[in-house]
Structure 1
Amino acid sequence: MTACEVELHGRAATGADRVAADRVAADLGALGSEAKSDAVLVHDSGGELVGWGWVKGRRATVHVRPGHTGRGLGSLLLAWTEERARQLGGDRLAQTVPDQDQAAIALLKAAGYARLVTEWLLGIAMPSEPHVPEPPAGITVRAFRAGDEQSAYQLTEDAFDEWQQRRKSYAEWARHTVERTTFAPGASMVALAGEQMVGAVLSLDVPGDDEGYVERVAVRRDLRNRGTARLLLQESFRAFYRQGKRGCTLWTHSDTGALSLYERLGMTVRRTSTVYSKTLTTG
C-alpha cells in the first residue's frame, strides 16, 4: 500500500508504514476466522508480494505493486473480490480509488462501476499552538479515558448511521479505533453534557511522524451547529501540538457534509479519492 502511494503521489500518506500496517491489521481482524477465504495474496515467482485484495460486506480493496501493473493482476483481483462477495450473499461492492490512479479508474469503469461518493484528505499546518475557544454552555471537554469506549462507540455509530451502509459491532469498531496500536487517547477529545458523552474526536499518533491524524469525528445530532465539533478538533490539534506535532490530517467524504467545517478551521484538501460502486449480478 505504501509503495502504491509513493508511486501515485511521490510520498506516502502521514505515517504510512505504521498507519497502513495498523489499518490492514484492523481490516483483517474484522474478517476473523474468515481471513483465509476473504483475503488473497499474489506472489511472483521469486516470492515477492505483488498484489493483494480483500472483501468485507460491501467493501473491497485491491492493490497491485508498482512495476507489476499492466499484466492483468488488477483484473484478476477485481474479479476475485466480486465472486467472493457473491458467495457471501452480497448484492453490491464498492472500492475507493485515488483520483490520480487513472488505470484503476479505467478498470473499474470498464467493469461496470460508477461513482458513489468523493473522499478528501485534508491537512492543517500548526506552526504555533492552536487557539481553543470556550465550550458551548452546558458542555465540558476532556481527553478520552479508559471506560469511555462503549459511550464513544454508541455516539459515533449513531452519528455514522446517517450515511454508512451498516452498523458495526462493538468488536469491529474497536479494532478500527480504540484498539489500534496508534490510538492516541491524549489527543482524543470528548464532549460531555453532564455525564453523557455528546461529542468525540478519536485520533491516532504515529511515532516519528510530525503530523497527527483524526480518525473519527462525531457530535450528537441535537447538539450540532453549536461549535462542538470545531471545539473538539481544536482541542485535539492543540494536544498534538503540545506533543510536538506540527500538523494534523483527516479524511472525510461527501456524504458527511463536513468538508466546509474543516475548511473553516483552516484545513485544505491534499488529495481526493472516489468510491466506485457496482450492483452484483448472479451467474
Structure 2
Amino acid sequence: MSGPLPERLPGGYRCRPAVLADADAIHRLAAACERERDGRAVTGADRISAELTLPGVRPESDTLIVYDGAGGAAGFGWVRGQRARVQVHPAHQGRGLGGVLLAWAETRAREQGSDRIAQTVSDTDRAAAALLRACGYSRLVMEWLLEIALPDEPEVPDPPAGITVRPFRHGDEQAAYRLTEDAFDEWQPRRKSYAEWARHTVERVTFLPAASPVALAGDQMVGAVLSLDAPGHDEGYVERVAVRHDHRGRGIARTLLWEAFRTFHQRGRPACTLWTHSGTGALSLYERLGMTVRRSSTVYCKALVTD
C-alpha cells in the first residue's frame, strides 16, 4: 500500500511512488542538479538503485517521483527514518515543487516514527538552503568533498611495525563492517545493519576490491579503505576510511589511502575524491596528504512536532 500523496501540486505535474525501474530517470535528475550547481555530476547510478532497495525502505511509501506532462522526472523525494533527500530538476525549479516534496518528506518521517529529519544540501544551492531555513531547519554539520590529483604514481609509505596491508578480498565483509561501524559510532546517529552497510559499499557494482586495502594486526582487521570506481568517471572515489580506535595515530590511514590512490593511478584515474564531515575530525588528515576541498555541503536538521 502506498503512503499519502501530496494533496496539491503545481499545474501540469503528477506524482507517484518510485519503483526500481525509475532509477535511471532519478539518476539523470540528480546528475542535472549536480551539473547545474557544481559544474559536474558525481553521483553514481548504482547509488540510486542502492537507496531504492535499502533494507527497511518501502518505495511504495518512502519515495515520491514528480513528473511533468511529457513524463520526465521533475522532482524526487526519499525518506528513511531521520534522513531525507529532496531534489528538483533545474528546469522545474521556482514552481513550488521543492516545498511540496519537503512537506511530504516531513509527513512521511513522522509516520515512520522519527522525531527529527535531516538532509544534505550543497552550499552552492542557495535556494534550497533558504527554503530549509524558512521551514525551520538549522545547520547540523558541514561536509566537504576533497580531491587529490594523481599525475604521477604515488609512493606508498611502509605500514607501521606489526601491520600488514593487502587488498580487500572475499570473506573480509563482516570484519570490514564491524570495523567501519565501530569507528563511525562516534558521530553517526545510529548503527547500520550489515545489510544496509553492504548495500552502500561491498554490494555496489562499482565497489573495487583492488583499490580497497585493509590493514591487519595478526589476523585482526584494524584499518580499511573501501573504494568505488564508476564507469565513465575520470577519477576514483573513496567511500569509507576507518582505523580501529587502539591503532589510531600510527599512520595506518595514511598508508591505506596512498595504497588506494596508487591503484587508481595505475587504473588510469588521474584524481581521487572522498567526502568527510565536521563530525569526524578527519579534515586535517586529508589536507596533510595534499587533498584540497573541491566543494562543501551542509546537513540541515529539523525537530518534528507530532500531533
Tell me whether 1:2 sits opposite 2:31 in the alignment: yes
Q: TM-score, normalised by structure 2?
A: 0.89
| Counterpart AA for 1:47 | G
Q: Which whole-Å CA distance do the structure 1 matches of 2:264 and 2:167 have between them?
A: 12
1:93-129 superposed Cα distances (whole Å, 9 cap, x missing partner): 0010000101000000000000000000000001101
Partner of 2:114: 90
Among 251, 259, 262, the alignment partner of 2:283 is: 259
Q: More displaced, 29-38 or 69-78?
A: 29-38
* SS, match of residue 67 in structure 1: helix
The alignment yields a C-alpha RMSD, in angstroms, of 0.9
Is 1:122 aligned to residue 122 of structure 2? no
Q: For structure 1, which runs of at least 5 residues remain unmatched after alignment?
A: none
Change (3 A) 1:206 1:33: closer
Deviation readout 1:170-195 (Å, 9 max, x if unpaired): 01100000000000000001000000
Given residue 32 of structure 2, which amino acid in structure 1 is its aligned partner? A
Give how far 1:210 is off.
Answer: 2.0
Alignment pair present for 1:162 and 2:186:
yes
Note the 1:71-82 alignment, pairs <5 A.
71-82=95-106
Distance 2:162 2:290 in 1: 27
User: Is 1:11 the equivalent of 2:40?
Assistant: yes
Question: Which residue of structure 2 aligns with residue 148 of structure 1?
Answer: 172
Aligned to 1:205: 229
Paired residue for 2:83?
59
Higher RCO by CA contacts (8 Å cutoff, separation 6 or greater): 1
Does residue 43 of structure 1 match 2:67?
Answer: yes
The one-letter code sitting in structure 2 at the alignment partner of 1:75 is: G
Q: Distance in 1 between matches of 2:125 and 2:250?
A: 39
Tell me the TM-score normalised to structure 1 length: 0.97
> Which of 127, 137, 161 pairs up with 1:103?
127
In the alignment, what sits opposite 1:223?
247
Q: CA deviation at 1:31?
A: 5.0
Match of 2:27 in 1: none
| Residue in structure 2 matched with residue 188 of structure 1 by the alignment | 212
**Residues 263-282 of structure 1: CA deviation (Å, up to 9, x unaligned):** 00000000000000000001
Amino acid aligned to 2:72:
E
Residue deviations 1:6-58 (CA, integer Å, cap 9, x gap): 11122223xx4xx1x11111111115561110000001122111000010011
Residue identity opposite 1:5 in structure 2:
E
Residue identity opposite 1:151 in structure 2: A
Q: Report if the CA contact (8 A) 1:185-1:202 is conserved.
A: yes
**1:173 alignment counterpart:** 197
Report Cα offsets for 1:152-204 as digits up to 9, x if no partner: 00000000011001111101100000000000000001000000100000000
Cα distance in structure 1, aligned partners of 2:57 and 2:299: 27
Tell me whether 1:29 sits opposite 2:58 in the alignment: no
* 1:274 pairs with 2:291: no
Aligned-residue sequence identity (percent) comes to: 68
Q: Check conservation: 1:118, 1:253, Cα contact below 8 A.
A: yes
How big is the shift at 1:208?
3.0
